[in-house]
Structure formats: C-alpha cells, structure tokens
C-alpha cells in the first residue's frame, strides 16, 4: 500500500461493488487498518519495536521486544467502539462517495441506526478527521475576506446582524480557476482577526488580496505582497473578491441543501472542516480515494467521546 500515491483497485476500492468485495467481514477491515496505520509493518507504540505477531483477538498485536499488547484501533476514532468496523467503513464510504455528503438523518436510514443521535455522533467523529494536522499553507495568489453564516436578520446586514462571521481564504490559481480553501469561525467580525487568520493559513511570500481595510495593510510588513481592492464603494461587491464570494455562496448552499439548516453554531467549525475537505478534493474522479484518505487520517486521530462532541464549542 502506497500512502503517497495510492492506486484505485490496489490500495482502495473504486466502486461500491469493489467496496463490498474488499470488506466482506471484520477481519478484512482490521487488515486494511493495519496497512494504513503501519504501512511499513507493525511498530510498537511503547518501545518502537518492529517485531510482533497477532494474538487471538484479531485486532491485537503482541510486541516481541516488550510484550505490550496493542490494538490496531487504540488511540484512533474507533477506540473502544463496540460497533463492527464493517459498519464504520460503510459510514465512511457513504460520507465520501457522494459529492455533497450526507446528513445524519440520511445516514441513520442508510445504516439502520436506532436513533438520530447515533448517526449525528458518527458524522461528527468523521468530521474530526477531515482536517489533516500540518497540512500545507495556501500559496500563490490568495483572496481573503469574511462572510456571515446563519438565518435572516431583518433590517441588519453583515457585521450588524446576528449571523456568525466566518473567515475565508481561497487560492486564485487563474482568472477562472480556484485552488484550495481554508475557513475559520470568528469570535467577532474584524480586520485584526482576519490578519491573524491569514498569517496562520497563508505562506509568506504569497500575494494576499483583501478589501483594503486599514488593518489588512499589515500583510505588506510581514513578507507578503498585499493587493487591496475597494469593496465598500463598489456597485457590485461580489466582483471585487470573486473567489471568496463564490466559495461563500457554495458553502451556504451546501449547508442548506445537505444539512437542511441543522448546522448548529456550536459545531459550525466542524461543518466547515467537512466542506473544506470536499471542496479541496472536488476535482477527484476517484471517490474511493476520499474514502482512503478519510480512513488514513482516522487511524492517526485521537478518539472523540460523545461527551466531547456534545460539549464542542
């Protein structure tokens, strides 16, 4: 299995029929996770020993050096789950095989869960692994601005409304093509927070296009090329930073169409993670690749118990 350049039909299933053939039982799922977690062979988390063998329980390995028993699911989002891995794999397939994803209600029906809450918790566990730690910074030409997410605030607009401010950075690859995107939920609207967000997600030396607010001029003093456009006086604001406005429009449409207004404020950042995961892979013709990447990150992500999911802010 090649982690850098996985191949369809070799490293991951390409279709649902292949998915069913690849994972007919629990053992096949365990072996797949083994290869994802230890692509170069078993490594003991206690002593880094590379010699070991499976013991009676198929998920467990015994280290030949220190004798520690290690489960392939220990320390992953599958940790201590009593649900078969085959069901987890099916959930990951349904989430990644459709272009716009699935809602908790749809997942409940697809997998036959007894409650909506169970499906909701599973989706949030999967959303926790959609952002890869240490991912590359945006580069080249990057548009940076804020949008506002939420219901209708009568008589109010933008920062004066009750909507939540969301920061957006999107690469402009060409006049007609966008690259990768990053999001952040803001505590409050404001240019200074937008600057900090830009420093966090954009590589120094890049060209940053903004609406020209005074605070945003700081980019020029920190190793960036700053291009300012006057948005506030423009008769058509959407034409000034078209990439950001297009992404914001698509994001709102996705929140409405796929999640049916069920994206709560408390968990909005994780819904943004899912949309970024999908947007940044929108040109992939191999849906199985998304399944592969999701499980690859799942075995490298700490478990998230239900109490943590509910209390997320």
207-210/225-228 β-pairing:
parallel
| pLDDT value of position 227 | 93
| pLDDT value of position 154 | 43
**Domain CATH number, residue 254:** 3.30.420.10
Number of domains in the chain: 2
Residues 224 and 310 in one domain: no
| pLDDT value of position 160 | 47
Distance CA 272, CA 127 (A): 9
| pLDDT value of position 185 | 92
| pLDDT value of position 118 | 87
* 262 lies in some domain: yes
| pLDDT value of position 313 | 44
Question: pTM for the full model?
Answer: 0.83
Residues 103 and 89 in one domain: yes
Residues 303 and 273 in one domain: no
* 212 lies in some domain: yes
141-149/207-210 β-pairing:
parallel
Kindly provide the residue ranges of all beta strands, DSSP E only, lying in 201-287, ordered along the sequence.
207-210, 225-228
34: which 2 tokens?
């083994």
* 53 lies in some domain: no
CA distances to 102, 133, 203, 288 from 136, in Å:
27, 9, 9, 23
* 65 lies in some domain: no
Range of the domain at 293: 1-22+82-129+282-313
Q: Would you write out the chain's pLDDT as a tens digit for each of its 313 residues? A: 555 688 999 999 999 999 999 999 999 999 999 999 999 889 998 898 899 888 866 788 999 999 888 888 888 888 888 889 999 999 999 999 888 888 888 899 999 998 888 888 888 889 888 887 778 999 999 999 999 987 544 444 445 456 889 999 999 999 889 999 999 999 888 778 999 999 999 999 999 999 888 889 999 999 999 998 876 665 555 677 999 999 999 999 988 876 655 556 777 888 899 999 999 988 877 888 999 999 999 988 876 655 665 565 4
| pLDDT value of position 286 | 82
Residues 286 and 271 in one domain: no
| pLDDT value of position 195 | 95
- DSSP state letter for 239: G
């Amino acid at each position: 299995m090649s982690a850098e350049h996985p191949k369809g039909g070799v490293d991951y299933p390409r279709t649902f029929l292949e998915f069913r053939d690849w994972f007919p039982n629990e053992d096949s799922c365990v072996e797949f996770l083994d290869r994802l977690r230890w692509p170069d062979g078993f490594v003991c988390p206690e002593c880094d020993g590379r010699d070991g063998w499976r013991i009676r329980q198929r998920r467990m390995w015994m280290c030949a050096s220190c004798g520690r028993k290690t489960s392939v699911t220990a320390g992953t989002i599958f940790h201590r789950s009593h649900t078969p891995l085959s069901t987890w794999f099916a959930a990951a397939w349904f989430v990644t095989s459709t272009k716009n994803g699935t809602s908790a209600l749809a997942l409940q029906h697809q997998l036959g869960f007894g409650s909506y809450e169970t499906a909701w918790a599973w989706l949030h566990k999967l959303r926790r692994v959609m952002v890869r730690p240490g991912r590359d910074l945006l580069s080249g030409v990057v548009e940076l601005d804020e949008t506002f997410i939420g219901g209708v605030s009568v008589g109010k607009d933008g920062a004066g409304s009750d909507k939540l401010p969301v920061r957006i950075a999107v690469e402009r690859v060409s006049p007609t093509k966008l690259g990768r995107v990053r999001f952040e939920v803001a505590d409050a609207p404001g240019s200074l927070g937008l600057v900090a967000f830009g420093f966090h997600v954009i590589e120094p030396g890049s060209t940053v296009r903004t609406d020209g607010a005074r605070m945003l001029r700081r980019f020029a003093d920190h190793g960036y090329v700053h291009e300012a456009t006057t948005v506030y006086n423009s008769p058509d604001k959407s034409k000034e930073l078209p990439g950001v406005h297009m992404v914001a429009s698509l994001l709102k449409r996705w929140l409405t169409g796929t999640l049916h207004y069920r994206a709560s404020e408390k968990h909005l950042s994780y819904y943004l993670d899912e949309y970024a995961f999908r947007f940044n892979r929108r040109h992939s013709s191999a849906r199985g690749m998304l399944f592969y990447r999701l499980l690859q990150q799942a075995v490298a992500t700490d478990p998230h118990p239900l109490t943590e999911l509910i209390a997320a802010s």
